[in-house]
Amino acid sequence: MLMIRTLYVMCFACSTPRLFSRFGVNYLFAPWISWLLLLQSAPFVAPKEVSYLVLWWIFAVPVVALDVKIYGQWFTKGKKFLSTVANPTSQISVIGNLVGAQAAANMGWKECAVCLFSLGMVHYLVLFVTLYQRLSGGNRLPAMLRPVFFLFFAAPSVASLAWASIAGAFDTASKMLFFLSLFFFTSLVCRPALFKRSMRRFNVAWWAYSFPLTVLALASTEYAQEVKGGIANVLMLLLSALSALVAICLTVFSLLNPKMLLPDNDPIASLHIDSPIS
């Protein structure tokens, strides 16, 4: 996961204007999200250790700094208003805050966790409404980048896990967020024609399928452990199997098409590039 996201950022970084386009700028959050996820899953770093605390600060501070930059532009700069730049990749910024909140909650830093969680969720609500209304920014998503529509259920899935870490249990709020993500997943799966053009040829944007499915499977696992029902267990198994299958297939496709991960095959290289952010 870290390797793929780093490669993706490198693809954008090879052209500064692309990096700071309305699509590329959101991937600045990707390396820090990956590091925070790896920090939480590392078996040799316990949440109560000093090394965990230091690493959390190293990875979380850039997320907050990017928040100040990007969220500030959404309501202060005419050409960078949210209604003109919003697209599904904008949800990566929300995921960054939620992952940081979950990592903070694991340390027992509830206040920091709630702060990051509230920051992410407030902007998620505003962003979701903007995208749902199909304003100008959301209508310009190229066909080859349509896999990023899966981020619609990634954000509430991560939010359900983050809130479960804050609350100490997969409570009603976490279940509501999980059900929301499950609804978005079902809605997208029922519309395969939406992804038809993007699936004609493999490109690095296909990796946008993997992370959302993984966090949805993790949320379903927490839900199954909480309710202990047959249907919940079946749902957990199905989503986990699907997540593993997609990850394996994407790995195989990437190994068979290594050149597609290089900057020359950047999926947005041929698109109109917005003016850089300032």
Please report where in the chains the tokens 């899935």 appear, as a residue: 157
- Apex CA 218: angle with CA 212 and CA 224, to 5°? 135
Q: How confident is the model at residue 277 (pLDDT cuts 50, 70, 90)?
A: very low
| Half-sphere exposure for 53 (CA within 13 Å, toward CB) | 7
Q: Does the pLDDT value for residue 179 go beyond 90? A: yes
Q: What is the pTM of this model?
A: 0.83
pLDDT at 8: 47
Q: Residue range 224-244: average pLDDT?
A: 92
Q: Does the pLDDT value for residue 219 go beyond 80? A: yes
Question: Looking at 188-192, 202-206, 210-214, 236-240, which range is the least confident one?
Answer: 202-206
Q: Does the pLDDT value for residue 11 go beyond 50? A: no
Highest mean pLDDT among 38-47, 73-82, 136-145, 179-188: 179-188
pLDDT at 266: 54
Q: What whole-number distance in Å separates Cα of residue 15 and Cα of residue 266?
A: 10
Q: Does the pLDDT value for residue 115 go beyond 90? A: yes
Question: Looking at 8-12, 40-44, 110-114, 222-226, which range is the least confident one?
Answer: 8-12
Please report where in the chains the tokens 């990749």 appear, as a residue: 89
Q: Per CATH, which fold does 1-141 belong to?
A: Glycosyltransferase (1.50.10)
Q: Does the pLDDT value for residue 95 go beyond 70? A: yes
Q: Does the pLDDT value for residue 93 go beyond 60? A: yes
Q: What whole-number distance in Å separates Cα of residue 89 and Cα of residue 74?
A: 14
Please report where in the chains the tokens 């986990």 appear, as a residue: 240
| Half-sphere exposure for 143 (CA within 13 Å, toward CB) | 11
Q: Residue range 43-70: average pLDDT?
A: 88
150 burial (CB, 10 Å; 0-12 / 13-18 / 19+) is: buried
Domain residue spans of the chain: 1-141, 145-265
